[in-house]
Structure 1
């Protein structure tokens, strides 16, 4: 293992994105016997990677990485929007193998690198350049022609499929020119696969002849008028700019900003448990034996025959021609009969809006068996693609009342399971027309329970990953921009294919996920923390919260005046007028005009002026007082601008004209830890640490004769930390009701409690909460505005005083590295796919792994409280309105406020029982008032 890179070192860069395509097309297909998952490309990838790690002789790498494309859109799309526009859709059996190759890379303990905005080739070019400049050598494991421009000066390529080295001679054989002129030839010849335009009628051979004759592309274009062949001359003259654009497209960026060094890419021994576990899961028997022999460990058994799996669905192909349009009652009754016969149905609604409180129902889709689905159009209007078409309904649709007469008994039948993807949306749509859907299953929440941290849980992702099928996209149906239409204007024939497929996909996902919940040991999590919360949140969202528009308007005006004053102050400090809201102009003022240190430019050429940069500048008051004051005022201005645009202005637009209330929408899968997030509007991030932020809550008001009651867990995450890290002194302090921050300060700084100063307590508080989030010495130094060494000293002393916390962190990371996930005290799994990564990614992954069980347990506690709350307060004139972090907000009649507070407090403080017995009590602080600010 090497901790540096220089002369004598050899970096191997594996082009992961290109290689998986190569392996897929070159190797015979292979499926996992247990469930039919396609893994042929993954098998080829693993064999190549293992070969690289076990090489001998001069080919032995000292450093290695696998490079992947992050996404299809990069900076080249800004240069030429049609770049790669002609690329065909991925084969269905290849799509699910992409995430598996990344998992394989991590299992082999090899760096897995991808960077948003850049292609894998750019990252390879950058690392190759750095390797050579450091005095080392670099071998690129790929046969991709686009990388051949890098060959030479210590960089070479090797085709792993043919085990053939690609040096200068091979590049000349391919392109007719040396590596230094490859981009010139490519710019002329273009590339139909990547949609690089090039010069019409000029291929590789002609391009090479021209470049060899004229020396380089610019000389050729400057002297194009001299070319005798008319078509060739016209192609160059008429397309000169397009050719230059093509050269920019094919030229690799060898200066991609990296947050790691080559030294971070040292070859490491694989962890036997992690690697063999992955290979066993993939059922790669031969490679498992080879690896176990090499690592001298016993090979895990790989079953020769698949273990029987209950309810494993047959992988039928998706055939849109089999989907039915239901336009008469006899057909609808036939579907209803089948639903009653089997006892379940996948259901989905199509509407005119994502806002459930304003959306109009357009149609309902049902699926009863894989491949057997239908769509019931109800509200499609004349006028096709014209947003302003007729309001008349398209003929041949059933009336909503007739549909509900048949479906409402089914949707409300406790003996029939209703299956949905993001069921909360459909639940609310049906509730608005008088239908209470129950019982429910939700494939989105099943996925979250099993795969939190591995991927998002949208239907398209789940279908592509677990069914190998890409659903029909909605955008081509609705269009975009000014020409966009709503679903009620979509032609019914197109709607049938799209909507019925959604129901079909949902049913197949349910059949796949349902038996796997038990195998993943998350059935309890799903059934007690996920699914029961759907109707609770739906009812909260539908009720909404009253917001006073006049209060918001007054705040907006006040913020605008204060911002104007700050702008004058900022421009006076700058010595000139400029747009305070322009990061580019601000950067020029700070680093060019005022000459402040620390200016760094991004790939756009503008200085970075984020909050962290400005906060650092504010600490320079002794040496750069003018710049420090300017940065502080800009931070103040930005905070006001955000409050105004995000809340006081935007909240007015979110007031529902029919209810007069704001109806936020909660996501149960917004955070991997189980914490809820809210959107449209986001009420989770209203700042409460500043006076202006707290004032926003004054606009959330109680109706006449009622009050708002707030109940907030007190330091719940610190209490959970005291429990899981088993810190007796902290546990006793919580039991005795002692100020935990003062106690920590006393323990760390040897200051008696009766002599505690606010500053010492503040430092202890910052450390207490910082430790939960894995704060570094640098981060604590920034928060407290103290030297980094002093901040690190605080953290070191903290761990010395509370060694159980350090032990908890170490054990949690160790568990995550071995298992690939961490767990909350209630059994929620949070996967940590980057935990064995290298470089800065590893630090972030470790901090997330340490925090997740604590934050996730706190999230589970409040979920349990919310699920129990409706039954506990059903006899009171009260409604649960909001959940924000560790707080629940209620709207209650004045005469019931005291009783609500007593009951809700008890529910929250005992929400962990009987599943969990904590060594510390949970306590809840309560308040009430005519607005949210007064109640909190």
Structure 2
């Protein structure tokens, strides 16, 4: 042992639980390859510990260190208040087995590991911090937990390592409005919903700080509560005195625990290589094991042999070495790489650009990889003086290839049908190359391979895939570009830094491809990938580049009309309220509705403000209250104005005069496409104003827009999958399905059908597909809940096949943790066996996924066949919106195009799936989208 703890010593107390939860939520799920044990949080925890050890050099380094954990189970605070922490949900299933492993990890790093039964980590930290301060040393608490801010002061401070921010006395005052010695008083008043500390109802941090600053401390405030002028606040403090005093006992940390260890036991010790590397190797953390072995100057242990399993096989354990990547700056070097590519027959390709919008971003460089660990970057447009704002200009940095020269050499290879080009989200790179006159084909896409295998399990971004399947964290782009207003574009990154980042992307992509390609077959999704995912990439790329023309004048006029209409509604709302207020403020609206107007049913949230979400306003409107109905109208106009008539104008490409949306193939678990920048799939069509927005989407001169839309495709697929003969027959006979359902359910002959009864049946037909509850249907149809539930019960009586389908689908999902579309697309349902509120949502998703997914597959199949079908016609496919395709066509070719497109769409399921019901497609045409739809 060294010197006893005292002056000159520096104690670091690490909040272990905070590290675990940060690691768990920040990283994708990860399982040990050999046995499937969840280890994602342990991996993150080890990285954070290693960073602590690494960063703690120099004058600020700790002389003593310990990691403090919460002991599982209750603490003494539950004896003070039995509801303490009662609201906290249990730890996630896959996190529980990782708790003991984090303790093992701490000991493996040779760091003191502390937890005490019946006490929380905060109390142990509080006691040790006091002891360190009293002994004349310093103490840094590594946590951002607000509950520990009461300990700051003297020789004690906090450090939030995620933000690299020290929290001293000023930091505490900024957070709580009072100094550390009064934090418990403010917390006792404000309470804490997370820990179920009651506090004083309706008093938040700001008000609490105001009161404590005015009266000095909590006890004085409570003794003099009668003097407070605001009647509501005064009464709250008088009525809740006992609860507030209990709250203070709950939030005050115990700084005088009896501990059977001393600060001297925490002296910093070097890790013992054998113990630490043995633990990391046991966890199968290949990259971290190598990093730490290098750091300790020892050989890493041989990787643990892993048996072949159905799950992800480890790619050859070749280390990532950014320093070894090559910077290609002349033709001779590039030709050597092209020879390598022809020798192999494939290459991973990635582009670096100045932005995320493929239609406006400029190409900055290209990276290539042919063998895992061997990659290069070809810089093309990095700027000289980029880091120097004062002298920055457009001069190119030295040591780069000339753009045309490089593309002329690469073009034959990138277009060569014998060379496979592998990308991660290849649609982006293909569009960039297309704008530079290179048509990349054929392709493979690791993002789409992951999506075909793992839709519903995790997202499919490269960072997630690299961490999950390669156990490697890629260089973060933020480390090169920065964030916020000071962020730079990639052309301003120095070439030597760009090489490491960009070449690594190609290296990761190749390794993922080597890993995923053989798994497609084992997971039985090769057909899905080859027929529904991969061939869609060039189709969407072409559609996105075509774009759709948008008339800026129409949008401006609508924007003004919406503004006038909103002003009129505001005047009406103010008149009803009897005063002016900000209609866009949920807080002010709540006070008007529930305090001033005295409408019943107001519920306050954690902030003390009334909830005024759309569902609450809809319920009030259904009860006959006019003001909430007007506010709903105002909100809808406000959303249309901000999201569409105003924002769409900013999306018009200055070069093409068109809007170029971007479709995400892997965006939704079911196979539906998502549209972004701008999102054209959310334009409401049920309201007149929403329909009017479509008037701004126009055809070019001499052309028409045509729209072809599957009629009730999901109901048709339900009739087929669930084998409901009455529905199947109705579709075959071309009956009005909603009227037929209404007739069946309400015993109303078809010739006596009213629009209102049909509307209700339509609501039920579509609601049932989405697993709607009586509550949801009541809100949609604005009818009493009991009546709505009666409708649903009667529906299942009349169509028993639907209930049977639902039960069988849920049973299959629970046994297999996935469901399937008719075309074999797997939609994973990992939450299906969960308990609690997620269970209902997971069941509804499982029931709906085969129907919605099959419909999505049908339209994908139609889109993939479309380019060949319309080849030779003066027509371009522009948009896909759910079940609708929009084309721009020469006026003379409208009828021919509609016929061809309709044939493709109506036969899209064949030959793979023959449906028991016909698919019908409605067609329309016009000068704009509203006319055509």
Place the TM-score, normalised by the shorter chain, in its bin: 0.7 to 0.9
Q: Does 1:629 align with 2:582?
A: no
- Residue number in structure 1 paired with 2:721: 724
Q: Contact conserved, 2:355 with 2:489, CA < 8 A, in 1?
A: yes
Q: Contact conserved, 2:70 with 2:116, CA < 8 A, in 1?
A: no
Q: Contact conserved, 2:349 with 2:366, CA < 8 A, in 1?
A: yes
Q: 1:405-416 residue pairs with structure 2 within 5 A?
A: 405-416=408-419
Q: Does 1:591 align with 2:529?
A: no
In 2, Cα distance between equivalents of 1:125 and 1:906: 69
In 1, Cα distance between equivalents of 2:121 and 2:496: 54
Gap change, CA 1:395 and 1:202, over 3 Å in 2: closer
- Residue number in structure 1 paired with 2:570: 567
In 2, Cα distance between equivalents of 1:391 and 1:21: 42
Q: Does 1:520 align with 2:520?
A: no
Q: 1:288-437 residue pairs with structure 2 within 5 A?
A: 305-306=307-308, 313-386=315-388, 389-437=392-440
Gap change, CA 1:496 and 1:920, over 3 Å in 2: same
Gap change, CA 1:784 and 1:40, over 3 Å in 2: closer
- Residue number in structure 1 paired with 2:457: 454
Q: Deviations over 1:346-382 (max 9, x none)?
A: 1111111111111110000111111111111001112
In 1, Cα distance between equivalents of 2:478 and 2:895: 51
Deviation at 1:604? 2.8
SS at match of 1:794: helix
Deviation at 1:786? 1.3
Q: Deviations over 1:473-515 (max 9, x none)?
A: 1123112232221111111111111111111111111111111
Deviation at 1:193? 4.7
Deviation at 1:393? 0.7
SS at match of 2:82: helix
TM-score, normalising length from structure 1? 0.74
Deviation at 1:253? 7.1
SS at match of 1:537: helix
Gap change, CA 1:190 and 1:782, over 3 Å in 2: farther
Gap change, CA 1:315 and 1:630, over 3 Å in 2: same
Q: Deviations over 1:657-702 (max 9, x none)?
A: 1111111111101111111111111110111111111111111111
- Residue number in structure 2 paired with 1:664: 661
- Residue number in structure 2 paired with 1:12: none
Deviation at 1:860? 0.2
Q: Does 1:132 align with 2:88?
A: no
- Residue number in structure 2 paired with 1:166: 117
Q: Contact conserved, 1:126 with 1:256, CA < 8 A, in 2?
A: no
Q: Contact conserved, 2:75 with 2:118, CA < 8 A, in 1?
A: no
Q: Contact conserved, 1:347 with 1:367, CA < 8 A, in 2?
A: yes
Q: Contact conserved, 1:171 with 1:177, CA < 8 A, in 2?
A: no
- Residue number in structure 2 paired with 1:32: 33
The alignment of Structure 1 onto Structure 2 pairs a total of residues equal to 754
SS at match of 2:698: coil
Deviation at 1:41? 4.6
Deviation at 1:455? 1.2
Q: Contact conserved, 1:460 with 1:471, CA < 8 A, in 2?
A: yes
In 1, Cα distance between equivalents of 2:557 and 2:422: 46
Aligned equivalent of 1:554, options 553, 557, 577 = 557
- Residue number in structure 1 paired with 2:194: 256
Deviation at 1:558? 0.7
- Residue number in structure 2 paired with 1:602: 605
- Residue number in structure 1 paired with 2:806: 809
Q: Deviations over 1:428-462 (max 9, x none)?
A: 00000110000101111111111111111111111
- Residue number in structure 2 paired with 1:833: 830
Q: Deviations over 1:118-177 (max 9, x none)?
A: x99999999979993499999999999xx9xxxxxxxxxxxxx99997136999888659
Gap change, CA 1:537 and 1:120, over 3 Å in 2: farther
- Residue number in structure 2 paired with 1:927: 924
Q: Does 1:532 align with 2:535?
A: yes
Gap change, CA 1:200 and 1:177, over 3 Å in 2: closer
Q: Contact conserved, 2:33 with 2:312, CA < 8 A, in 1?
A: no
Q: Does 1:484 align with 2:476?
A: no
Gap change, CA 1:87 and 1:592, over 3 Å in 2: farther
In 2, Cα distance between equivalents of 1:629 and 1:699: 32
Aligned equivalent of 1:471, options 469, 474, 492 = 474
SS at match of 1:359: coil
Deviation at 1:934? 0.6
- Residue number in structure 2 paired with 1:243: 180
In 2, Cα distance between equivalents of 1:121 and 1:569: 58
Q: Contact conserved, 2:345 with 2:418, CA < 8 A, in 1?
A: yes
In 1, Cα distance between equivalents of 2:830 and 2:776: 24
Q: Contact conserved, 1:171 with 1:178, CA < 8 A, in 2?
A: no
SS at match of 1:684: coil
Deviation at 1:612? 0.6
Q: Does 1:915 align with 2:868?
A: no
Q: 5+ unaligned residues in a row in structure 2: which ranges?
A: 1-15, 25-29, 54-68, 100-111, 158-167, 197-282, 285-304
Q: 5+ unaligned residues in a row in structure 1: which ranges?
A: 1-14, 24-28, 46-70, 73-84, 92-118, 148-160, 205-230, 259-281, 284-302, 622-627
Q: 1:159-238 residue pairs with structure 2 within 5 A?
A: 166-167=117-118, 176=127, 191-194=141-144, 198-199=151-152, 201-202=154-155
Aligned equivalent of 1:645, options 642, 646, 650 = 642
Q: Contact conserved, 1:386 with 1:489, CA < 8 A, in 2?
A: no
Q: Contact conserved, 2:665 with 2:673, CA < 8 A, in 1?
A: yes
Gap change, CA 1:307 and 1:203, over 3 Å in 2: closer
Q: 1:742-821 residue pairs with structure 2 within 5 A?
A: 742-821=739-818
- Residue number in structure 2 paired with 1:264: none
SS at match of 2:369: strand
Q: Contact conserved, 2:76 with 2:119, CA < 8 A, in 1?
A: no
Gap change, CA 1:395 and 1:847, over 3 Å in 2: same
SS at match of 1:132: coil
Which region of structure 1 is more displaced relative to structure 2, 170-179 or 436-445?
170-179
- Residue number in structure 2 paired with 1:98: none
In 2, Cα distance between equivalents of 1:795 and 1:492: 64
In 2, Cα distance between equivalents of 1:452 and 1:403: 37
SS at match of 1:398: coil
In 2, Cα distance between equivalents of 1:797 and 1:87: 60
TM-score, normalising length from structure 2? 0.74
Gap change, CA 1:329 and 1:490, over 3 Å in 2: same
Q: Contact conserved, 2:74 with 2:118, CA < 8 A, in 1?
A: no
Q: Deviations over 1:24-52 (max 9, x none)?
A: xxxxx995348xx8x4858999xxxxxxx
Deviation at 1:336? 0.8
SS at match of 1:441: strand
In 2, Cα distance between equivalents of 1:745 and 1:777: 17
In 2, Cα distance between equivalents of 1:548 and 1:629: 36
Q: Deviations over 1:563-595 (max 9, x none)?
A: 111111111111111111111221221122222
Deviation at 1:602? 2.4
In 2, Cα distance between equivalents of 1:928 and 1:126: 73
Gap change, CA 1:517 and 1:846, over 3 Å in 2: same
In 1, Cα distance between equivalents of 2:342 and 2:902: 43
Q: Does 1:864 align with 2:801?
A: no
SS at match of 1:657: coil
Gap change, CA 1:257 and 1:178, over 3 Å in 2: closer
Gap change, CA 1:535 and 1:246, over 3 Å in 2: farther
SS at match of 2:709: strand
